[in-house]
Structure 1
Amino acid sequence: MNRTDVIALIAEEESMTKKKAEEIVRLIIDTMKVALIDGEKVQITGFGTFEVKDRAPRIGRNPKTNEEVKIDAFRKPVFRPSQTLKERINK
């Protein structure tokens, strides 16, 4: 399922235009992006938590040459599913 599918499903379920559903989806995603960029967690009960984790700098290896490569520190978005979602997926 992609963004277009979500928009179409919301429009159908809520009897609204696809344009209005697209605005709602865009607003939700943009709000979540801003929160994550600001370092906030986004928790959706029954679904899961989105957050940003800091990764420390480290030394990696180029698998072709076996040469050491410096990997800079970076921030990584992560998702942790809720227990409810895990249970429903594994039924």
Structure 2
Amino acid sequence: MIRSELIQRIADENPHLYQRDVERIVGTVFEEIVAAMERGDRVELRGFGAFSVKKRDGRTGRNPRTGEAVEVDEKHVPFFKTGKLLRDRLNGKD
């Protein structure tokens, strides 16, 4: 599902809301998640999962085309850990 599909589904299920308001709500939720992760905070959505930021140390990598050694800088990457409820539903343990 992409963002526009999510917005459309929420708008369809809530006919009392204008589509532009649903777009604003979805955008605000995503922006707040991103802002929290930028600050290094963890965002937990009960039953769904938790978003966090993990630090990857610098290392020596290889250029796959030439095989040449390349220094890869340390970086921060987003990480998502599924919640128990989501994991159980995906595995048919309703």
TM class, shorter-chain normalised?
over 0.9
Query: How far is the alpha carbon of 1:64 from its aligned partner?
Result: 2.2
Which residue number in structure 1 is paired with residue 20 of structure 2? 19
The AA in structure 2 aligned to 1:25 is V
2:33 is the counterpart of 1:32: yes
Structure 2: gaps spanning 5 or more residues: none
Distance between the aligned counterparts of 2:53 and 2:64, measured in 1? 28
Structure 1: gaps spanning 5 or more residues: none
Structure 1 residue matching 2:66: 3-state secondary structure: coil
Distance between the aligned counterparts of 2:68 and 2:91, measured in 1? 42
Distance between the aligned counterparts of 1:50 and 1:56, measured in 2? 20
Equivalent pairs, count: 91
2:64 is the counterpart of 1:63: yes
Distance between the aligned counterparts of 1:40 and 1:72, measured in 2? 22
- Give the TM-score taking structure 1 as reference length: 0.95
Query: How far is the alpha carbon of 1:65 from its aligned partner?
Result: 1.8
